[in-house]
Structure 1
Amino acid sequence: MNKTHIALAIAALMPAAAAMADVTIYGEIRGGYEYNKTYSSTFSLDGNNKLQGGSQINDWTSRIGFKGNEDLGNGLKAIWQVENRVHIDGTTGAGSTQDTFATRDSFIGLAGESWGKFRLGRLSNYANDMMEQVDPGYYSDESVGGLGMFTRLDGRQNNAVRYDSPNWNGFSFALLYGTDEKRTLTNGSTTNNQTWNLGLSYENSGFFGKYNYQNWNDADKLTSVKDWHRLEAGYIANNLYAALGYQQIQGYGLGTFYNGSLSSSINTAVVNAGYTQAQINGAKLKTKELALTLGYTFGAFTPYFSYVKGYDASLNGNTIDKSGYDQFVLALDYALSKRTEVYTSYGHVKWKDGALDKENSFGLGLVHRF
């Protein structure tokens, strides 16, 4: 091929190359060995009503994503993202964790230098993508080696729109609205299962304070969450990691708690308290939880200690004795490089009602970001 043909070929490819220049491929591959003795989809109670346990190779929420933007001029950009869950342990997940396109935050929107950003698609609530400082670890759904019970409502909303404000001297906020695209007629009235989520934040010189509130409009009076508040505050700078979290969740019946162990514990405590099913249905159930995580970086090593106090729940304002829990997690992160880590943890949960054995998990694995 002569020089003229080469020049023509390069010129023909340049528009396509320029069009693809704003696309970024990114992700995290995370997984490890776990020994779990927990009440989960894999391990349940044996014939002696004792928890089973076993060794597993588990994925720790790996993902791959594609994102990009286009400069529209005058400080305005078009933005987009498609992020997908992947499992490196040979499973394919289920529901929102299934290995298909757009199972994680995926959207199209606009961003402005002075007014923030507006997105629509499948989007995280504020607690899921802007908080969780109390839960810095890596673990599977089967494990109690992280604060999965405390963060059980952190997630994503289908059919959502979200606005994120710019940063005003450390202050910012976000507002999410999830539409109800499956409205039905019940007892002569049309349901309105919309959800609203508000997030507030202040950050300055390592100090932070964040607040999350979410409301589900016509919550099912038998099994649904209605209102959720969470507050997190702390200091993360100069090798010190300190985060404190408090949350209150109110719903109906026992459906407020869709974590297996917590639901089982609350149910047992309610039955032991003498409540009938008729009294449980439609009753307001409220829980309160407090979480603390401390860590300190020594060179490449960062040890963490987390503690969660689940207070006794209340049903229609009446305290349900022995319905709470205590959890602690010990973890160690070793940075092999800026993008690769070795992570190990041990988690322990004690249920006050005594219906379950003490749950335990040990994990050791690798994390790589790209």
Structure 2
Amino acid sequence: MNKKLIALALAAALPAAAMADVTIYGQIRAGYEYNKTYGSTLALDSSGKPQGSSEINDWTSRIGFKGGEDLGNGLKAIWQVESRLNVDGTGADTFGTRDTFIGLAGDSWGQIRLGRLSNYPNMDMEQVDPGYYSGQSVGGLGMFTRMDTRVNNAVRYDSPNWYGFSYMALFGFDEARIAGLDGSRTNQQFVNIGLSYENAGYFGKYSYASWGDASNVVGSNKDWHRLEAGYNANNIYLAFGYQQVQGYGFGTFYNSALGTMANNVAVAGLVAGGSTAAAAQLAVNTTKLKTKELALTGGYTFGAFTPYLSYAKGYNATMGGTTINDSGYDQFVLGLDYALSKRTDVYTSYGHVKWKYPGTDNENSLGLGLIHRF
């Protein structure tokens, strides 16, 4: 009896569903990884260095629903709900964790959206990082793209394309307004502007981002510049990237493993000079930190195979205008994509990071997995 009732309910719902403009899409991506990294699942050894770990990891799987309605006169209502999936059984899969929005699109003026939205580098750049890997791995340029993310409480405008040129603007409201270091109410609003040119396989993209009240929030980003350029046509893949990030203290914009060590050294130096531990930490948190990095990726497709070679370099950071010696890194990634079909790939990669900072160890990752798009 229950089965009959369910069948009748589905039959009644199907005509309405058929009339709705809804597309279901997504990607299932996972693989085996051997990681000897600071982010891998095993704890650090007694000397504070990473241990090797065999892992089955999700490579950022997702499922989404999107649609729209033609409102007439070149105007359309658009919406999307996209969620993260963890096919390895770890992590919390909640609804709408990825780009989720409602908005309007016009034939001549572009589109505007409200919701949880990607910043420009996350959605429109990352050509220097074409691979698949987990957050525990260095089998891709995740350190270079570490700030590519989504912004809550955001509004984003995207222009139409004019002969290859386009631009966007995003504003993220700070609804928390936490108390700052001086006790006042802060406003960590986020502003992001992106510019793009694409024509005949050539592309050039620039992103500028800025956060408000940066010096009044512990470990806060201040501003961020990213440039990417290259060529992707005729089986050739070339991409170059450069970015510069400024903030206060060793915040989220800085590598976490190295940041903890560098922060402790900076605090210890001030304490040795006569400061209290609390005063020393406050001084570090309110001192400007600046990082510079570049990345280069090349690939070539022959048949179903596309090998990639990537290199990223982090230069020594500066804090308060003083160079932090040996705070940079060098990373190499060798990847190979084999297309089993238009929607299914086998992907493998090996990544190596060399840290120069005292007390750090090199990181290595090897991955092999499957990607299916639907």
Q: Secondary structure at the match of 1:280?
A: helix
C-alpha displacement of 1:40: 1.4
TM-score normalized by the length of structure 1: 0.91
Matches within 5 A, 1:346-361: 346-361=350-365
Q: In structure 2, what is the equivalent of residue 146 of structure 1?
A: 140
C-alpha displacement of 1:266: 3.9
C-alpha displacement of 1:268: 6.5
Q: In structure 1, what is the equivalent of residue 16 of structure 2?
A: 16
Q: Secondary structure at the match of 1:190?
A: coil
Amino acid at match of 2:174: D
Give the direction of change, closer, same or farther, for the CA distance of 1:335–1:180 in structure 2 (3 Å limit). Answer: same
Give me the whole-angstrom Cα distance separating, in 1, the residues matched to 2:259 and 2:42: 16
C-alpha displacement of 1:17: 4.4
Q: Does 1:343 align with 2:347?
A: yes
Contact 2:40 2:53 in 1 (8 A): no
Give me the whole-angstrom Cα distance separating, in 2, the residues matched to 1:319 and 1:105: 38
* Root mean square deviation, CA, Å: 2.0
Contact 1:269 1:323 in 2 (8 A): no
Q: In structure 2, what is the equivalent of residue 234 of structure 1?
A: 230
Q: In structure 2, what is the equivalent of residue 126 of structure 1?
A: 120
Q: In structure 2, what is the equivalent of residue 79 of structure 1?
A: 78
Q: Does 1:30 align with 2:32?
A: no
Residue-by-residue CA offset, 1:70-119 (whole Å, 9 max, x unaligned):
0111111100000000011111x2xxxx4111000000000011100000
Q: Does 1:304 align with 2:300?
A: no
Q: Does 1:171 align with 2:170?
A: no
C-alpha displacement of 1:263: 2.1
Give me the whole-angstrom Cα distance separating, in 2, the residues matched to 1:270 and 1:185: 25
Q: Does 1:325 align with 2:319?
A: no
Q: Does 1:195 align with 2:209?
A: no
TM-score normalized by the length of structure 2: 0.90
Contact 2:56 2:88 in 1 (8 A): yes
Give the number of equivalent residue pairs. Answer: 353
Give me the whole-angstrom Cα distance separating, in 2, the residues matched to 1:66 and 1:298: 34
Q: Secondary structure at the match of 1:16?
A: helix
Contact 1:216 1:226 in 2 (8 A): yes
Runs of 4+ in 1 over 6 A off after TM superposition: 11-14
Q: Does 1:212 align with 2:207?
A: yes
Contact 2:263 2:284 in 1 (8 A): no
Amino acid at match of 1:358: N
Give me the whole-angstrom Cα distance separating, in 2, the residues matched to 1:161 and 1:363: 37
Amino acid at match of 1:241: Y
Unaligned 5+ segments in structure 1 are: 1-10
Residue-by-residue CA offset, 1:266-304 (whole Å, 9 max, x unaligned):
4467479x4553542310000000000000001100000
Give me the whole-angstrom Cα distance separating, in 2, the residues matched to 1:127 and 1:27: 20
Q: In structure 2, what is the equivalent of residue 4 of structure 1?
A: none
Contact 2:108 2:160 in 1 (8 A): yes
Q: Secondary structure at the match of 1:154?
A: coil
Give the direction of change, closer, same or farther, for the CA distance of 1:12–1:306 in structure 2 (3 Å limit). Answer: closer
Give me the whole-angstrom Cα distance separating, in 1, the residues matched to 2:331 and 2:270: 27
Give me the whole-angstrom Cα distance separating, in 1, the residues matched to 2:261 and 2:313: 14
Give the direction of change, closer, same or farther, for the CA distance of 1:369–1:321 in structure 2 (3 Å limit). Answer: same
Percent of pairs with identical residues? 71
Q: In structure 2, what is the equivalent of residue 40 of structure 1?
A: 39
Q: Does 1:292 align with 2:296?
A: yes
C-alpha displacement of 1:42: 1.9
Q: 2:153 aligns with which of 159, 175, 189?
A: 159
Q: Secondary structure at the match of 2:28?
A: strand
Give the direction of change, closer, same or farther, for the CA distance of 1:137–1:269 in structure 2 (3 Å limit). Answer: farther
C-alpha displacement of 1:258: 5.2
C-alpha displacement of 1:264: 3.9
Contact 1:268 1:353 in 2 (8 A): no
Q: Secondary structure at the match of 1:127?
A: helix
Mean CA deviation greater in 347-356 or 169-178: 347-356
Give me the whole-angstrom Cα distance separating, in 1, the residues matched to 2:252 and 2:290: 8
Amino acid at match of 1:195: F
Give me the whole-angstrom Cα distance separating, in 1, the residues matched to 2:61 and 2:228: 25
Mean CA deviation greater in 255-264 or 332-341: 255-264
